[in-house]
Amino acid sequence: MAPLLEIHHLSVSFQTPFGELQAVRDVSLTLHSGEVLAIVGESGCGKSVLCRSIMRLLPGNAVIKGGSILADGVDITQYSRQDMERLRGRLFSMVFQDPLAALNPALPVGAQIAEAVRVRLPRARREAVHARVLELMAQTGIEAPGQRCRLYPHQLSGGMRQRIVLAIALASGPKILFADEPTTSLDVTIQAQLLDLLRGLQRSLLAATVLVSHDLGVVARAADRVAVMYAGKIVEIGTADEIFYDPRHPYTWGLLRALPSRARRGERLYSIPGAPPSPLCPPSGDAFACRNEYALQIDYLQMPPMFPVSETHAAATWLLDERAPKITPPAIPGTSPAGEAPVLPPSPQEPPLLDVRQLSCLYRPHRHLRIQALDGLTFQLHQGEILGLVGESGAGKSTAAQCVMGLCRPSAGQIRFQGIDLRDPRACRQNRRLLQTSRQLIFQDASSSLNGRMSVAELITEPLQIHKIRPSKGSLREEAAFLLEEVGLDVSCLDQYPAELSGGMRQRVAIARALSTKPALLVADEPVASLDVSIQAQILHLFQRLQAAHGFSILFIAHDLSAVRYLCDRTGVLHGGRLVELAPTETLFHTPAHPYTRALLSAIPSPDPRRERARPLQAFDRTPPAPEEILTEIAPGHLVLKRREP
Amino acid sequence: MKTHCIYVCRNLLAFLLSLFLLSAAVFYAARLAPGDPLVSYYGDHAEKMTPAERLQAEERLGLHEPIHIQYLCWLRSAARGDFGISYKYKISVLQVIGERLPNTLLLGGVSLLLIFTLALGLGILCTLQEGRWTDRLLCRAGTVLSCIPEFWLSLILILIFSVWLHWLPSSGAYSAGHGGDPLDRAAHLILPLSIVVSGHLWYDAYIIRSRLLTEIRAEYVLLAKAKGLSRKQILLRHCLRNIAPSCLNRMALSVPHILGGTYIVETVFSYPGIGTLTYESARCQDYNLLMVLSLFSGMLVILCSMLAQICSERLDPRLRPAPEPPADVPAPSEQAAGRLKRRMAVKSPKPLPHRR
Amino acid sequence: MDPRFTLTGIRPAPPPPTPSRQRAARRPVPAAAMLAAIVLGCLFFPPFLPKDPSYLDLYHANTAPNAEFLFGTDAMGRDLFSMVWYGGRISLLTGFLSTAISAAAGILLGTASGLAPRWLDGLLMRLTEIFLSIPGLLPAILLQAALGKASVLSLSTVLGLTGWAEIAKAVRTEVRQLRGSAFVTASRCMGGSPFHILRRHLLPNFLPAILFMLVMRFRSAVASESTMSFLGLGLPLELLSWGSLLSLSERSLLSGAWWAAVIPGVFLAATLLCVTELGSGLQTAGQYGPSGL
């Protein structure tokens, strides 16, 4: 059977003021009818650009430098704008990462779907279009479409919005659907539902789907074939089983090894060293060579061609050349690390560093709106402990962090930090300096938490300057240089500005700044959520190393359960502003007691296609826990929200 | 329904209160300013009056009382619809204004219409042609035009079209004896109109252009494109619709600028309108006339700013409350925080280029 | 064995290229040069001018430009060439003074409003909005009419006081945005005092953003001054500025002396245009990335 789409040696560049940015370099692909092809890679590897260049959705400064895209045997790279407009919606359509941004905020969702329906049926009657809109909404799993079609995007939840975007994409019956990170902005439980929906639709309506994702778990659940991209090139392509169970490219090895879900606790998490090359001047040889432990001499000189491994599997690495030395690939750990003996909580004799009791926070963003962001949160954090708080968006994780940092005033309850009552303004005033130096906050987005008009040296030493602390290393600059080395950055960064650094480097600077006052408590609010897998592993590893060296405590807030599992001693699960379960991490992952925790755990996609395909989705209840449930200790250190037994 | 009533009542109350404050401010400022109102009433004769005559004259005009009593008197008669007589023209203030108002309304109204339609057209054209020579040329021409002071441009146009070419009249609203001739009026309108339009056109067109340029970079444009809509469809059905509330807001705010801004033109072209009247009344301490004119402009300003507020608050569905809470209860804080963020975003628009 | 196929492992990556802009941002060099010429001319020419600008040479009234009177003379026989340079001094000075007043008032009110609680912010911004919709020159004219005879200082004050609203609004928007930004929160967590935050975080971030507004304010002030002086409400005839120079030109026009209206106006318009160009060069908001449409 002829392939639906053939791409030959496609190269796409952007003309930027800094020079030519080579986003896609010499990519060849074929897309067959009836398959889901996943494209995996880190941000900036060109996976989105590849899809958008096929649909010609790129901004004006993008140029297709070479190659051809054959749709049903016709080259569409030469098509005019009008021709492409005719092709879009009918041949292919696209789903975007952020459904709120992708939908027009000022139009009801029904009207937006209807518009897409009319692309195919320009002269259809209103009733017919409306009926088709309702049918599409029902197909994408939206209940009560008659009412919902009149709503505006902001009145719907994230999952609903993404379903609307899907309905729009399907409206004119495309053959190929490009799904660009369709589940990244959603909570894990919704993510799994949407992936299953996508697979179902693929079977019934579509000829082929191209799924773009950075998340190997998502790919394992949904894809038939996988292409791994790095620095604008496809480095390995094959069926899902081949990629996950028999990877051949060192980059794929690294990606799979760097997943925190595969690391055993207490063991060093593997991280790919270095950072991807700049797309402004990609190296002449293999772009991955300078991060590759198995790099050959030739990798630095010459670009490797695609070496076929099997009929469906090929990888671009010189290691597959017959002249190359035979090396044994590194062992990629299985997905479920063996459980260890649960780490017992520290002895209760020692007073906790942070003692939070019955903390509630009522939040009134608007006169008519009251939100119980936190409801009776109770936990203790001991000296030198890493406590994780996980939950979906809106569970109150960030509010908890803000209360601890004194950025948000709780409405009830008690917080004691080193014995100081944080709700007592007098005590706070008396211990102001201590509180401000020994608690430090690390934000999710390092780029916005660093003032763009200050150099790295100024940024790192800002707390010292505020408190007029004498730097222990002599001058402020020497102190900044010391801290930079501490977080694994080069001293040459001192005079750079945040905009010149990469995401991972910025987060390191933020960590260095937090360390400058030698804090006792680090509150990290989703510190790795906006980073790529390989960088994430580096930062998690950094946290672990620094904690071991300095002995501070960390309150680690995340939605990513695998990161928590790797790093934290104990983990609490938040849901609807309440703590539903708190236990030593391994206990929590092996014997979750609360149904919400179980649902949350079951929803995490694991990078194991066979297991993923077999695993049914656990239905689960999104209603917040009932008020009559209370936290009960079912085992030493294991607290679960339960109905009081009569 | 109830919220609507409260909304209307609150705005009405604010409106009345601002009018009251404005009238008091103008009243006090005018009376406390240096200058002799008797001069405007009696002309040069006022300077030759004996103190007794002066006193008598002041009493007749009600100027002998303390200011707050004078103000109360004024308020009382104003409530009855009597705004007093103009000191300069010696006839009822309303009558003086009534004669001039149609002229200003004609000039202002036609320019408003022209400015808004042309601005919309230019804005869309520039967006469609972004970065190409049409856009660049229009931007350049607009900038140059908006830099030339109105009065000087008027002089140059008079020099060219009246003095050198003798095509168009250089002053007045109509030639003597041709008051009812529409063609004659039109000929007198051309020069003032082109000055008013050229002074404001680029400002509004630039706003529409920059809003549209920001809007077409929004991500929903990509989805609209992906579903197969054409460029024009996206621009007109999506982008233009979305910027409409904020543009209407801006336009409502610029109505007083355009109507009020006609007075430079009126002065240069000796066009008998409200603008020249305001300026005369301020110079001659013609209190009663000045009060009514200031109140009139104030009313216009406040009304338009309220209109602007309503445009931005009511037309944007993002700021309207949900008709019914959707059943799929999204995480409440996420939704609320999002709404709040958007609210803030709409309330604080980007700073715009300057108006002269 | 092929030596190229020996295992070498990780070698240090070549240093990433320093991002150097190939095409420099559009810099308004000609505009800056021309403005500098005009400003420097106004500052330093007057002492060396051969003619006294206030000398009424009635014999040479309405003379067309010639070798003696480079720009001709006006209806009262004054030398336009001298007048233009002298007049520029006052015009630019008025613009500068009133911009300083507007900037001080605007930054103060804007920062206050940006840092104020919501109700106060709402009130201040409502006031600013209303002020913004008042046609620019109207309050200035009324105020000046009330104040009586104008001087440079009084006119600058009047213009300055009527021009703060836009600056206040822009500053307030910036401050509100910055106030909610993560780096200000971070600084608050570290214990930064409000003054520290204002100095280290707010000011360096919003000053560049409003620099454009200040330049534009200067332009508006110069234009307003000349308009008011032209209408006879601003500076008196004997106090030479570009506006008061032009206030006589209406009469000159009818007598055919076009140069008296055109030449000072060209100077005025050229200055305004150069200032605008400079301002656009400073503006960051007007620069768009590539379009997706």
Q: Which of A82, A113, A115 to mutate to test the interface with B (most CBs of B within 10 A)?
A: A115
CATH assignment, B93-318: 1.10.3720.10
Contact list in C for residue B88 (CB cut-off 8 A) is none
Res. A423: pLDDT tops 90: no
B326 touches chain A (CB under 8 A): yes
pLDDT in tens, C270-292: 999 998 888 887 775 456 777 76
Res. B188: pLDDT tops 60: yes
A120: its two tokens: 């195919």
- Angstrom distances, CA of residue A646 to CA of A593, A631, A643, C258: 19, 15, 9, 103
In the prediction, which pLDDT does C38 show? 87
Same domain for A49 and A165, yes or no, is: no
Mean pLDDT of B177-200: 81
Residue C43 pLDDT level (bands cut at 50, 70, 90): confident
Count of alpha carbons within 13 angstroms of residue B120, beta-carbon side? 16
Same domain for A150 and A299, yes or no, is: no
Evaluate whether B291 touches B87 at the Cβ level (below 8 Å): no
Q: Domain count of chain C?
A: 1
Question: For chain A, first and last CA: distance in Å?
Answer: 67
Q: Edge-to-edge, what's the strand order for the sheet holding A354-366?
A: A369-381, A354-366, A412-417, A420-421
Residue of A375, A341, A413 lying closest to A637 (CA atoms): A341
In the prediction, which pLDDT does A133 show? 93
Question: What mean pLDDT, rounded, does chain C reach?
Answer: 80
Between A232 and B175, the more confident residue is A232
Q: Is the residue at C64 inside a domain?
A: no
Mean pLDDT highest for which of A259-263, A340-344, B206-210, C247-251? Answer: B206-210
In the prediction, which pLDDT does B68 show? 80
Same domain for A188 and A299, yes or no, is: yes
DSSP H or E segment with residue C37:
helix C29-44
Evaluate whether C250 touches C231 at the Cβ level (below 8 Å): no
DSSP H helices in A424-571: 425-430, 432-438, 446-449, 456-467, 476-486, 503-515, 533-550, 561-567
d(CA A113, CA B227): 9
pLDDT in tens, B49-79: 777 777 777 777 667 777 788 888 888 887 7
pLDDT in tens, B286-336: 777 877 887 888 888 788 877 877 777 777 766 655 444 443 434 334 444
* Residue C236, phi-psi category: left (phi > 0), alpha (psi -120 to 50), beta (remainder): beta
Evaluate whether A437 touches A517 at the Cβ level (below 8 Å): yes
Same domain for A61 and A112, yes or no, is: no
C139: its two tokens: 């309050």
In the prediction, which pLDDT does A392 show? 84
- Domain extent, residue A140, equals 102-173
Same domain for A626 and A530, yes or no, is: yes
Same domain for A244 and A377, yes or no, is: no
Cα angle B26, B28, B29 (rounded to 5 degrees) comes to: 65
In the prediction, which pLDDT does A307 show? 92
Length in residues, chain C:
293
- Domain extent, residue C216, equals 31-40+71-287
Scanning B37-76 for CB atoms below 8 A from C yields none
Q: Is the residue at A483 inside a domain?
A: no
Per-residue DSSP letter, C73: B
Chains in contact with C, where contact means 3 or more Cβ–Cβ distances below 8 Å, are A, B
Per-residue DSSP letter, B236: I
Q: For the stretch A306-325, what's the b/e string if a residue is b when 16 or more beta carbons lie within 10 angstroms of its beta carbon?
A: bbebeeebbbbbbbbeeebe
Residue A512 pLDDT level (bands cut at 50, 70, 90): very high
C64 touches chain B (CB under 8 A): no
Q: Is the residue at C52 inside a domain?
A: no
Scanning B229-288 for CB atoms below 8 A from C yields 231, 234-235, 253-254, 256-257, 259-261, 263-264, 267-268, 278-279, 282-283
A107 and B238 within 8 Å at the Cβ level: the answer is yes
- The amino acid sitting at B207 is I
Same domain for A250 and A211, yes or no, is: yes
Contact list in A for residue C187 (CB cut-off 8 A) is 451, 462, 466
Evaluate whether B233 touches A88 at the Cβ level (below 8 Å): no
Least confident window among A214-223, A576-585, B22-31: B22-31
C289 touches chain B (CB under 8 A): yes
Measure B225 CA to nearest chain C CA, in Å.
8
Residue of B222, B207, B204, B218 lying closest to B258 (CA atoms): B204
User: Domain end: A156, A173, A190, which one?
Assistant: A173
Of B219, B225, B323, the CB nearest to A88: B225
In the prediction, which pLDDT does A514 show? 92
Residue in chain C lying closest to B285 (CA): C146
Q: Is the residue at A502 inside a domain?
A: no
B21: its two tokens: 């404050």
A294 and C7 within 8 Å at the Cβ level: the answer is yes
B337 touches chain C (CB under 8 A): no
In the prediction, which pLDDT does C174 show? 87
Listing DSSP states for A506-523 in one string gives HHHHHHHHHHTT--SEEE
Residue in chain B lying closest to A82 (CA): B230
Measure C107 CA to nearest chain B CA, in Å.
14
CB atoms under 10 Å from CB of B43, counted, come to 10
Q: For the stretch A52-61, what's the b/e string if a residue is b when 16 or more beta carbons lie within 10 angstroms of its beta carbon?
A: bbbbbbbeee
C201: its two tokens: 């975080």
Residue C22 pLDDT level (bands cut at 50, 70, 90): very low
d(CA B223, CA A528): 29
Scanning A6-65 for CB atoms below 8 A from B yields 52, 55, 57, 60
B242: its two tokens: 């979305």
Same domain for A129 and A75, yes or no, is: no
Chains in contact with A, where contact means 3 or more Cβ–Cβ distances below 8 Å, are B, C
A473: its two tokens: 């290393």
A449 and C185 within 8 Å at the Cβ level: the answer is yes
Residue of A529, A582, A568, A527 lying closest to A356 (CA atoms): A582
Mean pLDDT of A130-151: 89
Q: Using a cut of 0.90, tell me whether the model's pTM lies above it.
A: no
B264 and C170 within 8 Å at the Cβ level: the answer is no
Mean pLDDT of C229-240: 78
B219 touches chain A (CB under 8 A): yes
Q: Which of B214, B223, B239 to mutate to test the interface with A (most CBs of A within 10 A)?
A: B223
Between C97 and A154, the more confident residue is C97
Mean pLDDT of C86-113: 90
d(CA A244, CA B321): 48
Count of alpha carbons within 13 angstroms of residue B199, beta-carbon side? 31
Instruction: Name every residue whose Cβ is closer than 8 Å to that of residue A373 and which is 6 or more positions away in sequence.
Output: A361, A362, A363, A396, A399, A577, B333
Q: Is the residue at A348 inside a domain?
A: no
B110 touches chain C (CB under 8 A): no
Q: Is the residue at A377 inside a domain?
A: yes
Instruction: Name every residue whose Cβ is closer than 8 Å to that of residue B193 and which is 6 or more positions away in sequence.
Output: B107, B110, B111, B114
Per-residue DSSP letter, B320: S
Contact list in B for residue C256 (CB cut-off 8 A) is 163
CB atoms under 10 Å from CB of A336, counted, come to 13
B100: its two tokens: 């001039």
d(CA A331, CA A267): 14
Indicate which CATH number applies to the domain containing A387: 3.40.50.300
pLDDT in tens, B86-113: 777 778 888 888 888 888 888 888 988 9
Indicate which CATH number applies to the domain containing C168: 1.10.3720.10
Residue in chain A lying closest to B130 (CA): A60
Measure B9 CA to nearest chain A CA, in Å.
19
Q: Is the residue at A507 inside a domain?
A: no
Measure B151 CA to nearest chain C CA, in Å.
7
ipTM of this complex prediction, to 2 decimal places = 0.82
Residue in chain A lying closest to C16 (CA): A278
Scanning B113-152 for CB atoms below 8 A from C yields 127, 130-131, 143-144, 146-152
pLDDT in tens, B108-157: 889 889 999 999 999 999 988 888 899 889 988 998 888 888 888 888 88
Of A102, A152, A366, the CB nearest to B340: A366
Of A119, A369, A371, the CB nearest to B228: A119
C97: its two tokens: 């003074």
A119 and B226 within 8 Å at the Cβ level: the answer is no
C180 touches chain A (CB under 8 A): no
Residue in chain A lying closest to B243 (CA): A106
Same domain for A313 and A193, yes or no, is: yes
Question: What mean pLDDT, rounded, does chain A reach?
Answer: 86
Maximum pairwise Cα distance, chain A? 79
DSSP H helices in C194-257: 194-197, 203-231, 242-246, 249-254
Same domain for A44 and A124, yes or no, is: no
d(CA A150, CA C141): 52
Count of alpha carbons within 13 angstroms of residue A189, beta-carbon side? 16
Domain ranges of chain B: 2-79, 93-318
d(CA A437, CA A518): 7
A466 and C191 within 8 Å at the Cβ level: the answer is yes
B149 and C227 within 8 Å at the Cβ level: the answer is yes
d(CA A300, CA A283): 8
Residue in chain B lying closest to C126 (CA): B305
A170: its two tokens: 């399907």
B144 and C273 within 8 Å at the Cβ level: the answer is yes
d(CA B237, CA C233): 48
A294 and C21 within 8 Å at the Cβ level: the answer is no
Residue of B342, C5, C180, B83 lying closest to A301 (CA atoms): C5
Strand A369-381 vs strand A354-366: parallel, antiparallel, or unpaired?
A: antiparallel
Q: Is the residue at C5 inside a domain?
A: no
d(CA A318, CA A292): 12
A444: its two tokens: 């999710």
Helix (H/G/I), strand (E/B), else coil: C233: coil
CB pairs under 8 A between A and B: 136
Measure B336 CA to nearest chain A CA, in Å.
7
In the prediction, which pLDDT does B334 show? 41
Measure B110 CA to nearest chain C CA, in Å.
18
Listing DSSP states for A49-116 in one string gives HHHHHHHT---TTEEEEEEEEEETTEE-TT--HHHHHHHBTTTEEEE-S-HHHHS-TTS-HHHHHHHH
Residue in chain C lying closest to A492 (CA): C15
Q: Is the residue at A411 inside a domain?
A: yes
C136 and B257 within 8 Å at the Cβ level: the answer is yes
In the prediction, which pLDDT does C50 show? 73
pLDDT in tens, C179-196: 888 899 889 888 888 888
Of B228, B333, B342, the CB nearest to A172: B228
Evaluate whether B154 touches B268 at the Cβ level (below 8 Å): yes
Same domain for A183 and A279, yes or no, is: yes
Res. C148: pLDDT tops 60: yes
